[in-house]
Amino acid sequence: MTDTSSNQMWGGRFASGPDAIMEAINASIGFDRRMAAQDIAGSRAHAAMLAAQGVITDSDADAIRKGLLTVLSEIQEGRFEFSTALEDIHMNVEARLKALIGEPAGRLHTARSRNDQVATDFKLWVRDQIDAADVGLTALLHALVEQAEAGADWVMPGFTHLQTAQPVTWGHHMMAYVEMLGRDLSRFRDARARMNECPLGAAALAGTSFDIDRDATAQMLGFDRPSANSLDAVSDRDFALEFLSVSSICAMHLSRLAEELVIWSSAQFRFVSMSDKWSTGSSIMPQKRNPDAAELLRAKIGRIFGANVALMTVMKGLPLAYSKDMQEDKEQVFDAADSLLLALAAMAGMVGDMQANRDALAAAAGSGFSTATDLADWLVRTLNLPFRDAHHVTGTLVAKAEARGCDLPDLTLEELQEAHPDITMAVFDVLGVDNSVASRTSYGGTAPAQVRAQISRWKEMLK
Ligand code: ARG
């Protein structure tokens, strides 16, 4: 919608309005309306502070407060008419306030600029997303710990290079993700603490000559303190970048777990059954149960990585202080936040509802010569062989078993002794997978007692 008259908010020196294309490239209202609640919260704090400082009258502040509440309910109830000519959420709200309350609305922008306003709104919005990610991550951590607890001593193959390496427990594998995602949780909390400084009052870039109280607005908006440099305050988007980079690492973890779920739910692995709630069927192959949620989650992560790169690119060439380039910060972050929160919720649902297949895990744990390292360790410990020699002896036994088409515990004592004459029946104790995992009692190891200790520690922390 093109308006040939100049902009009512800043058009004093303009004879005519913008070209339609200019309006299209300039407007952000199509997306920044998502920050309406934050914008109104910021304006309410600003108006209350201006009145407390005697910059505006109490009655004007009261009219502004009531008017802003009306605007908020109009927006929340979908009754608000957004205007592209008014560019962005800040001017849409203020113009509507003017229509509702008249002259006092014009006093709201005293000692403020859209530059500190947008920085404040956006920071409040990102902070809300961090709080939501905190909740989502915590739910996922609970679901993983529950899975770990149910199968703390269930054996499964541990892999390196996706080749069977050594037996581990299901609980240990689940708890590995708890560690990863737990670091994400702590990164989100660190980022929140670091970003929690209020830009409001930095005004356009230089601060203001009005006697404002930045501590008061910071406190009203739940910030720890006002930001200390007005140029930095209006040109800083580190908080959004940090959200995106922390989200990227978290998303990468979610994608790795999604990848495992896709592999594990295949007919070749059958390590887990995904619940019907998180699977889809095929329109042609009646037997199919596809792990679509895990696949989509794995793919959606690309949006978050993309947003991170996009915003870094937007910011990298900008001189101080605000530049309009920075308006391009929001859509990327909105989309990344939506993707992250959806991925967290989907993963918590999938993990909570999936069924580990204990028998398939155990069968796989015992195949692939998974206890070869246990055999080599036994040769070192019992026969005092140097590890390199023990490794070689074990290698010849693996080759023998492979040739016979059996696993290590299926070899006879005679066959074992062909590789080393001093091997005794006692070796069979370490060739079983349960004994193997039970023996790995080093701190952080896969022995069920170690795994249970980590489960208790996390349950305590997640309380
Ligand atoms: N819509 C703008 C943005 O998102 C608000 C700030 C505009 N400031 C300005 N000086 N034109 O960045």
pLDDT band for position 3 (cuts 50, 70, 90): very low
Bridge partners for 356 per DSSP? 272
- Residue among 22, 116, 327 whose CB has most ligand 1 atoms within 8 A, to mutate: 327
Residue nearest to atom 2 of ligand 1 (CA): 327
Q: What is the pLDDT of residue 1?
A: 43
Q: Is residue 308 within 6 Å of ligand 1 at its C-beta?
A: no
How many angstroms separate the alpha carbon of residue 327 from the centre of ligand 1?
6
Report helix, strand or coil for 339.
helix
Span from the CA of 330 to the centroid of ligand 1 (angstroms): 11
Do 446 and 158 contact (CB within 8 A), yes or no? yes
Residue 111 pLDDT greater than 60, yes or no: yes
Q: What's the 101 CA to ligand 1 centre distance in angstroms?
A: 24
Taking the C-alpha atoms of residue 26 and residue 50, their distance in angstroms, rounded to an integer, is 30
Tokens of 377: 């360790």
For ligand 1, whether the C-beta of 94 sits within 6 Å is no
Residue 20: pLDDT above 50? yes
Q: Is 327 in the pocket of ligand 1 (CB under 6 A)?
A: yes
Of all atoms in ligand 1, which is nearest to the CA of residue 32?
4
Could you tell me if the CB of 196 is within 6 A of ligand 1? no
Give yes or no: 142 in active site: no
Token pair recorded at residue 374: 């246990």
**pLDDT (tens digit, 9 = 90+) per residue, 412-443?**
999 999 999 999 999 999 999 999 999 999 99
For residues 182-211, average pLDDT? 98
Return the ligand 1 atom nearest residue 326 CA. Answer: 12
Distance 87 CA to ligand 1 centre (A): 9
CB contact at 8 A, 241 and 308: yes
* Cα(118) to centroid(ligand 1), Å: 7
> Would you say how long the chain is, in residues?
463
Query: Contact, 129 vs 243, CB < 8 A?
Result: yes
Active site residue 109: no
The whole-chain average pLDDT of the chain stands at 96
- Burial classification of residue 323, based on how many CB atoms lie within 10 Å of its CB (0-12 exposed, 13-18 middle, 19 or more buried): middle
Out of 73, 186, 282, 367, which one is annotated catalytic? Answer: 282
Whether the pLDDT of residue 189 is over 80: the answer is: yes
> Rounded to the nearest whole angstrom, what is the distance from the C-alpha of residue 107 to the centroid of ligand 1?
19
Say how many Å lie between the CA of residue 115 and the centre of ligand 1: 6
* Model confidence pLDDT, tens digit, residues 319-366: 999 999 999 999 999 999 999 999 999 999 999 999 999 999 999 998
Write phi, then psi, for 166 (nearest 5 degrees).
-145, 150
* Residue with tokens 């070796």, as numbered in its chain: 427
What own/partner pairs with CB < 8 Å and gap ≥ 24 does 304-309 have?
304/244, 304/247, 304/248, 304/251, 304/336, 304/339, 304/340, 305/248, 305/251, 305/252, 306/332, 307/244, 307/332, 307/333, 307/335, 307/336, 308/241, 308/244, 308/245, 308/247, 308/248, 308/336
Tokens linked to 326: 């920075």
The yes-or-no verdict on residue 2 having pLDDT over 80 is no
Closest CA to 449 of 143, 180, 172, 182: 172
Closest ligand 1 atom to Cα of 28: 1
Residue 180 pLDDT exceeds 50: yes
The three-state secondary structure class of 6 is: coil
Given this model, what pLDDT does residue 98 score?
Answer: 98
Determine if ligand 1 sits within 6 Å of the CB of residue 88.
Answer: yes
In this predicted structure, what is the pLDDT of residue 237? 98
Which atom of ligand 1 lies at the shortest distance from residue 322's CA? 10
Q: Render pLDDT for 114-133 as a digit per residue (tens, 0 to 9).
A: 999 999 999 999 999 999 99
For tokens 């009512």, name the residue.
8
pLDDT confidence of residue 460: 97
Q: Which of 161, 209, 283, 442 is catalytic?
A: 161
Pocket test for ligand 1, best of 112, 117, 324 (most atoms within 8 A of CB): 324
What number does the ligand 1 atom closest to the CA of 204 have? 10
The pLDDT of residue 4: 55
CA-CA distance, 269 to 327, in Å (whole number)? 48
Is the distance from the beta carbon of residue 75 to the nearest atom of ligand 1 less than 6 Å?
Answer: no
Atom of ligand 1 nearest to the CA of 87: 1
Distance 117 CA to ligand 1 centre (A): 9
Q: Which string of DSSP letters, residue by residue, matches 391-453?
A: HHHHHHHHHHHHHHT--GGGS-HHHHHHH-TT--GGGHHHHSHHHHHHH--STT-SSHHHHHH
